[in-house]
Amino acid sequence: MKKLLTVLLLVSGITAMGQNDLFSSIKKKVTGGSGSSLSSEDIVAGLKQALTLGAQKSASQLSVTNGFLNDKAVEILMPEQALKVEKTLRGMGLGKLVDDAIASMNHAAEDASKSAAPIFVNAIKNMTVTDGVNILKGADTSATAYLRHSATPELTKAYTPVIDSALQKTGATKYWKDVFDTYNKLPTTFSKVDPNLSSYVTQKAINGIFYYVAQEEIKIRKDPAAQVTDLLKKVFGGKS
């Protein structure tokens, strides 16, 4: 009986140690490893700040001359349903017509990016405490994924008129019309095509911003040099 009690005590001690390690790990995740409690308000404020910085940096990066066009990660190409159009016109020696259309779409997204940050920042405001805690414990791009899931309809609605204006300003609408007018005048063996330019460029421009918001989130989570405010250091500084 005495030996049995000893074994039970040892087992319970090991189990307790395992639980303590688990709770310690969870605490470190939520407190930032600083040893001082991190409030729910701090978590949400820190995540909002990280997303805001990401949106501002992304918008700034993509709004420079050829910010989209010279970046293979976000460059806007012809939509899938128009690839046959592109191939046909290039095969007829009309590649410049297609190139002009592609360039104008990218310049429209670039121009619209100058106004993107406030639109994204406004969408970030709706994050709740529950959202924040789950995001902090999640993957390296959980905050970006949350924003994409929760705010895309609002962002699309707000961003569409900005893109429409940019499409007109950069001549994208004209180049697009030229491409499809030319294609649609070909023999009737070709199916007529005219994808929605505004919708397509809007989605691609938003995707481009999200791509770099995600990259910035990864840096803020992992690189102390990217934790440029005291709040970011507090929330992310001790994460493992």
* DSSP output for 28-55: HHHHTTSSS---HHHHHHHHHHHHHHHH
Say what the pLDDT of residue 200 is. Answer: 93
**pTM value surpassing 0.85:** no
Q: What is the pLDDT of residues 140-163, one digit of tens each?
A: 999 999 999 988 898 899 999 999
Instruction: Report whether pLDDT(230) > 90.
Output: yes
User: Of the candidates 52, 72, 69, which has an alpha carbon nearest to the alpha carbon of residue 111?
Assistant: 69
C-alpha angle 181-178-168 in degrees, rounded to nearest 5:
125
| Residue-averaged pLDDT of the chain | 83
Sign of torsion over alpha carbons 134, 138, 141, 146: negative
Say what the pLDDT of residue 187 is. Answer: 77
Q: Which of 13-17, 115-119, 213-217 has the lowest mean pLDDT?
A: 13-17
Residues 6+ apart with CB under 8 A from 79: 195, 200
- Secondary structure (3-state) at 67: coil
Residues 6+ apart with CB under 8 A from 218: 140, 141
